[in-house]
Structure 1
Amino acid sequence: MEDGIRVGLLLVATPQLEDPNFKRSVVLLVEHDMDGGTLGVVLNRPTEVPVDRVLPPWAELVTGPSVVFQGGPVALDNALALARLPGEDEPLGWRALEGGAEVSRVGLVDLEAPPGLLAAELLQLRVFAGYAGWSAGQLRTEIEEGAWYLVPAEAGDVFAPDPGRLWSDVLRRQGGDLAFVATYPEDPTLN
């Protein structure tokens, strides 16, 4: 049975989602298996930690801001990277997101590989500490309960130059009611 959730889509937190790990977050789905669960990375949580402090060999290849982003609350001591490449080749050290046509030419980088393998190919690169994960069926339940909007992604979302605006920018471009949600105040009691 198809659940509509697939790699390359975005989860956008609804205003009702109060969990501090995900409040106003935008999550790119990077793995999905209906039987095994779903994995994503939060795209709009830059930290203060410069990439050169944790992954010096990759620092000069990172798309600004050149800080590590908090990809989610799971495994914060592990890093993963997303990169966008031109052309059709799949060089060593990079794996396209399976079924991720919405974010074509965006894939996962093997941070254990020498950066020189990809340096000439990279258009954009961003490093994330941790990830967001859901067990089989958990994400579908959260969407049905109104915690998330499931919307198409664009390659630029992963490398947004102003991550603080990503939540409202993604909602605004959806049009209709979701564009209206983009104006929802951070604290509605102050309205």
Structure 2
Amino acid sequence: MATGEARAGMLLVASPALLDPNFVDTVILVLDADADGALGVVLNRPSPVPVAEVLADWGPVVAEPDVLFQGGPVSTEGALAVAHRVEPGEEPLGFRSVTSTLGLVDLDTPVELLAGHLDALRIFAGYAGWGAGQLDDEIAEGSWYVVPAHDSDVFREETTGLRRDVMRRQPGELAWHSTRPIDPDLN
């Protein structure tokens, strides 16, 4: 039961039908989606690794918890940073917009050049990626719910209840899925 098409700025919420251990119970922010495929980051899998241990300059500016998040199973040795811009408008150096307020930060940019332009930042090790048509097929088979994102979803300090809370705020019957067990027959 998809509610919309996957596009940049939307959330993919894993349905109970999705059994791939990389994505069970995940909430993914879509960063890019077109005919060639899609890319996003898992929002609710913090790691125990402090950002300051890996990217010392960025440690003081990341949102709490100040740890790396497991963004997905692809390129886990690399990092993507998602930030919230203080004011929409001209993009600061090292920032690429995803929505009017969210964007990707080039981690090679000196922190000082972006500090006054951002009010939240989260760093993800790896990402989730889909080839051409793959995500559309997964949505059609019922593996993902596609729902609108709130900027606060990306920088939420407590992430264990994110999936439930995102589903709970959806309209109509979709909200019922916030409490659905993995196997309803066991209920």
Structure 1 gaps of 5+ residues are none
Change (3 A) 1:144 1:82: same
Query: CA RMSD for the aligned pairs?
Result: 1.5
Alpha-carbon distance in 1 for matches of 2:67, 2:5: 33
Quote the offset at 1:186 in angstroms. 5.6
Q: Deviations over 1:93-125 (max 9, x none)?
A: 11111xx3xxx3110000011111111221100
SS of the equivalent of 1:157 reads helix
Q: What amino acid sits opposite 2:94 in the alignment?
A: G
Change (3 A) 1:50 1:190: farther
Alpha-carbon distance in 1 for matches of 2:179, 2:164: 7
Q: Tell me which residue corresponds to 1:117.
A: 113
Instruction: Tell me if structure 1 keeps the 8 A contact 2:6–2:12.
Output: no
Q: Tell me which residue corresponds to 1:44.
A: 44
Q: Tell me which residue corresponds to 2:166.
A: 170
Instruction: Give the 4+ runs in structure 1 shifted more than 4 A.
Output: 186-190
SS of the equivalent of 1:84 reads strand
What pairs with 1:1-191 in structure 2 (closer than 5 Å)? 4-34=5-35, 36-87=36-87, 88-97=89-98, 100=99, 104-185=100-181, 191=187
Structure 2 gaps of 5+ residues are none
Alpha-carbon distance in 1 for matches of 2:172, 2:162: 18
Change (3 A) 1:53 1:186: farther
Q: Percent identity?
A: 54
Alpha-carbon distance in 2 for matches of 1:163, 1:184: 19
SS of the equivalent of 1:47 reads strand
SS of the equivalent of 1:140 reads helix
Quote the offset at 1:86 in angstroms. 1.6
SS of the equivalent of 1:163 reads coil
Quote the offset at 1:48 in angstroms. 0.4
Quote the offset at 1:73 in angstroms. 0.4
- The alignment's TM-score, normalised by the length of structure 1, stands at 0.91
What is the total number of aligned residue pairs between the two structures? 183
Q: Deviations over 1:122-159 (max 9, x none)?
A: 11000000000000000000000110011111111111
Alpha-carbon distance in 1 for matches of 2:47, 2:60: 17
Change (3 A) 1:186 1:160: farther
